[in-house]
Amino acid sequence: MWAALLLPVLVLADSLALQPPATGCQTSCGGVDVPFPFGIGPGCFLPGFQIECINGSTPMLPDDSYEIKVLNLSVMPRPEARVMLHIAFQCYDATDGSAKDGASFRSAVIKSAYRISDTRNELVVLGCTTFGFTSSGPWGRRDSSFASGCLAYCDNDGSAMDGSCVGIGCCRVEIPPGLTDNTVFFLNDSASTWSHQGLGFSPCDYGFMVEKNTYDFRVSDLNMDGSSTTKPLVLDWAIRSSNVSSSVDNMTCTEVKGTPEYACLSDNSQCLNSTNGPGYICNCTQGYWGNPYLIGGCK
């Protein structure tokens, strides 16, 4: 049986507003800088880049179903958003290997302006009879453009070791480009090799995409509470047709320059095509630094 995570959709705005942010926009939340095109409140952000400041201290990406806490936002030199996302998990009854009542999956969508960075993150799978994988398109031999996964296995409660993630209790693998969500699939046929019967020391499958060099495996993680566990993840962002209403079908630099939707407003700025998904980004030209999305932003 294949188990998949179903995902909510970030709220999108209707059109790209190219005017500068409104006067008096809040520029930080909870110690996190919020540079334009991100913003807090009406008139302060470009469509798809809204940030919510919860209780005046916690920056969040807007989502109707899941908490997506923001750790950092950057415009240059890399357009990135660093966030915290829930992991995926499935637990089983060690007596007969059946899925336990109340087992759930946690995930969050990263559609519109965002893509999960394939260069800055990796997929980690935990368990003792666990095969987990992700794909950059609908799962299927012909439909999925790229899939990546790994097998975590251990035959007793003493075989996994703290700090070791090479397949015994923990494995890690590169992820495909173009990911818009952190869906993880598990192979969990209780009547086959993947049965969790008798695995009281490792009763769950866990899978999560996580920022590279931030996760250090601990044997105790084979029994962690998946419902409350989050991990840091790096998102690439760009100006994309999926988060704006545009007269341009293909939002490459060649297509968008000279149109009302062009977002590189500063002198001494340049347009670069996105390297992770469609769309484009803006940078200051060599010798200048600042915010290319603002008039006079590159100095």
Higher pLDDT, 251 or 208: 208
Within this chain, do residues 95 and 225 fall inside the same structural domain, yes or no?
yes
Dump pLDDT digits (tens) for 166-203. 999 999 999 988 888 888 888 765 556 667 766 778 88
Domains identified in the chain, total number: 2
Q: How many CA atoms lie within 13 A of 169 on its CB side?
A: 22
* 116 in any annotated domain: yes
Residue predicted with more confidence, 168 or 144: 168
pLDDT at 246 (0 to 100): 59
Q: What is the pLDDT of residue 288?
A: 97
Q: What is the CATH number of the domain that holds 290?
A: 2.10.25
Stretch among 116-130, 214-228, 239-253 having the lowest mean pLDDT: 239-253
Nearby residues of 192 by Cβ (< 8 Å), 6 or more positions away:
none
Q: What is the pLDDT of residues 67-77, one digit of tens each?
A: 799 999 999 98
Does residue 30 form part of some domain? Answer: no
Question: Considering the chain, what is the average pLDDT of its residues?
Answer: 83
The string of DSSP letters for 118-171 reads TTTEEEEEE-SEEEEEEESSSSSTTT-S-EEEEEEE-SSTTS--TT--SSSSEE
* Domain edge (last residue) among 180, 196, 229: 229
**255 and 218, same structural domain?**
no
Residue 35 has a pLDDT of 97
Residues 219, 132 share a domain: yes
- Give mean pLDDT, residues 150-156: 89
Q: For the chain, what percent of residues have pLDDT higher than 90?
A: 52
Q: Tokens representing 17?
A: 């507003």
Are residue 114 and residue 195 in the same domain, yes or no?
A: yes
Q: Is residue 191 part of a domain?
A: yes
Q: Which of 17, 47, 46, 52 is nearest to 32 (CA)?
A: 52
Q: Is the pLDDT of residue 13 over 50?
A: no
Q: What residues are paired with 78 via a beta bridge? A: none
- Domain identity same for 104 and 193: yes
- What is the three-class DSSP state of 232? strand
Contacts of 160 (CB under 8 A, 6+ apart): 128, 154, 168, 169, 170, 217, 219, 222
Asked whether residue 65 is domain-assigned, the answer is no
150: containing domain: 88-229
pLDDT of residue 109: 62
pLDDT band of residue 94 (cuts 50, 70, 90) is confident
Q: What is the model's pTM?
A: 0.86
Question: pLDDT tens digits, residue range 239-289?
Answer: 988 666 556 666 899 999 988 889 999 999 999 999 998 999 999 999 999
Domain-located, residue 274: yes
Give the whole-number percent of the chain exceeding pLDDT 70: 78
| Tens-digit pLDDT profile for residues 42-61 | 999 998 899 999 999 999 99
